[in-house]
Amino acid sequence: MTAAGRVLRFSFGERVVHWMTAILFLYAALTGLALWSPSLFWLSNVFGGGDAVRRWHPWGGVAFAIALGLMFRNWSKDMKLGSEDRRWLRQAHRYAVHDENGLPPAGRFNAGQKVLFWTQSVSVVLLFASGVVLYWPEIMPRGLRLAALVVHPPTAIVSIAGIILHIYMGTAAVPGALRGMIEGWVPEAWARAHHPRWYREIVKR
Amino acid sequence: MIVAKLIDTTTCIGCKACEAACQEWNDQGLTVGVARSDDGTYQTLPDLRHDFWNVIKFNEATREDGSFTWLMSKYQCMHCVDAGCLDACPAPGAIFRRENGIVDFDHDKCIGCGYCITGCPFDVPRLSPVTQKVYKCTLCSDRTSVGLEPACIKACPTNCLTFGARDDLVRLADARAEALRSEGRGNAGVYNPAGVGGTNVLYVLEDATRPEAYGLPRDPTIPWQVRLWKGPIKWVGNAVLVGGVVGAFLHYLRYGPKEVRE
């Protein structure tokens, strides 16, 4: 949809799901970091103390998983990685230094965003499975609990690292992206520059 | 002074006075459960509980001549020198080691995550469904801190339990095992597993070649998964998180934003 030099990048529903996921992610990640290391346990004070973190971190995680599931339903079709994307990823270092000549034109999402999407999708499955095991220390078999102890934290770190990059890209590194995710609209020039293949498809419609 | 408890399983008569004393001193009631005749056991309970920290186990075994015997053991916190519970705990100060070697829990700080249950190689801590906190034997730290011996030791009628300086008790345990061997019980020995740096609860076993028969793990260690998480995974993870934030900031300073030229 285009109007007066603007194009609709994200529908209201997509924006709601994105920000629901984002808030739940921040809650799960920060309360999780409180349990990650005793030296970060002070973070639990921000979220109501250690007892509250032990009680609500798991449910925050479940809610996050559900929100991510909705996001998956919205976007998984647009997130399919093609041969163009693989070519893009091989030259991602050039994207990082703003030398984008020769990079395959991005569709609705560029290959970096797609990799983030799939990283989070796989992570949430691992986090959920290991989290369920850790939730019941006296019911789950000890071997499973020990395995979960070496799955849950590193998976969370990968997930958080991805989101650090995502927040940087979405706010500072790509001006206009944050506004697109809040208000839904982006300038046509922005769409043409960052997602040319997607822009051409919308204009055709 | 590091304190310890010595359990000479060969002189335990299974009277369970220590269980009663433990329950009474720790104010946990004496009616938590009574073995029924159809349980086929003299044990008070099959397992430790959040409100029952000391189970006398009647381990059934067969002697070489085919006759029946009980291998008595006292199932409780071992107060490990390298404690898996403490390594796994995320809440600072919830599990701590006293100067006298006792591994103790602070229930105001415990958040009830149960990681200590996973970290413990002896399967000792238990979660209370009521308070959502974890409990185990304190080696009567509230008695030993004022110069009293633990309640179980006070109650033992056969001197099967001894409390004192760890170094003395290690010598006493060795002497007792030696005496048993000279009496013809050639497999007698001391259980003080090196994998957890030794324990502050020591056993003299009539057959030290088979600790499993007493319900004791052969070679307990802090699980490698806990060490991996609290070691390399944490270092790498911290580096990744800090590196990610710093890296993003430096990238912005060096390359700036992706401006769109009209």
For residue B96, CA distances in Å to A113, B6, B91, B110, B138 come to: 45, 22, 10, 11, 11
Please tell me if residue A143 touches chain B, with a CB cutoff of 8 Å: no
Please tell me if residue A153 touches chain B, with a CB cutoff of 8 Å: yes
Instruction: Give the pLDDT of residue B42.
Output: 85
Write the ipTM: 0.92
Beta carbons of A37 and B90 less than 8 Å apart = yes
Q: Per-residue confidence at B29, pLDDT binned at 50, 70, 90?
A: confident
Beta carbons of A37 and B238 less than 8 Å apart = yes
Please tell me if residue B30 touches chain A, with a CB cutoff of 8 Å: no
Chain A from 55 to 74: CB within 8 A of any B CB: 55
Q: In angstroms, what separates the C-alpha of B118 from chain A's closest C-alpha? A: 6
Q: What tokens appear for A15 in the block?
A: 């924006």
Q: In angstroms, what separates the C-alpha of A28 from chain B's closest C-alpha? A: 15
Instruction: Give the pLDDT of residue B194.
Output: 96
What is the pTM (predicted TM-score) of this model? 0.93
Query: What would the mean pLDDT of B22-27 be, rounded to a whole number?
Result: 95
H-helix or E-strand spanning residue B17:
helix B17-25
pLDDT tens, chain A, 205 aa long: 567 789 999 999 999 999 999 999 999 999 999 999 999 999 999 999 999 999 999 999 999 999 999 999 999 999 999 999 999 999 999 999 999 888 999 999 999 999 999 999 999 999 999 999 999 999 999 999 999 999 999 999 999 999 999 999 999 999 999 999 999 999 999 999 999 999 999 988 7
> What average pLDDT is seen over chain B?
94
Q: Which residue reads 């200590």 in tokens?
A: B116
User: Could you tell me which residue, B68 or A1, shows the higher pLDDT?
Assistant: B68
Instruction: Give the pLDDT of residue A164.
Output: 98
Beta carbons of A137 and B233 less than 8 Å apart = no
Please tell me if residue B127 touches chain A, with a CB cutoff of 8 Å: yes
Probe site for chain B from A6, A7, A51 (most B CB atoms < 10 A): A51
Task: Answer whether residue B95 shows pLDDT above 70.
Answer: yes
Task: Answer whether residue B35 shows pLDDT above 60.
Answer: no
Question: pLDDT of B133-181, one tens digit each?
Answer: 999 999 999 999 999 999 999 999 999 999 999 999 999 999 999 999 9
Residues near B47 by beta carbon (within 8 Å), at least 6 away in sequence: B55
What are the domain boundaries of chain A? 2-204
Please, are residues B146 and B5 in contact by the beta-carbon 8 Å criterion? no
Instruction: Give the pLDDT of residue B38.
Output: 65
Beta carbons of A35 and B237 less than 8 Å apart = no
Please, are residues A43 and A30 in contact by the beta-carbon 8 Å criterion? yes
Which CATH number does A2-204 carry? 1.20.950.20
Task: Answer whether residue B34 shows pLDDT above 70.
Answer: no
H-helix or E-strand spanning residue A6:
strand A6-8
Instruction: Give the pLDDT of residue B2.
Output: 96
Beta carbons of A161 and B248 less than 8 Å apart = no
Task: Answer whether residue B37 shows pLDDT above 70.
Answer: no
Residue A37: list chain B partners with CB under 8 A: 90, 234, 238
Q: In angstroms, what separates the C-alpha of A1 from chain B's closest C-alpha? A: 20
Task: Answer whether residue B262 shows pLDDT above 70.
Answer: no
Please, are residues B96 and B109 in contact by the beta-carbon 8 Å criterion? no
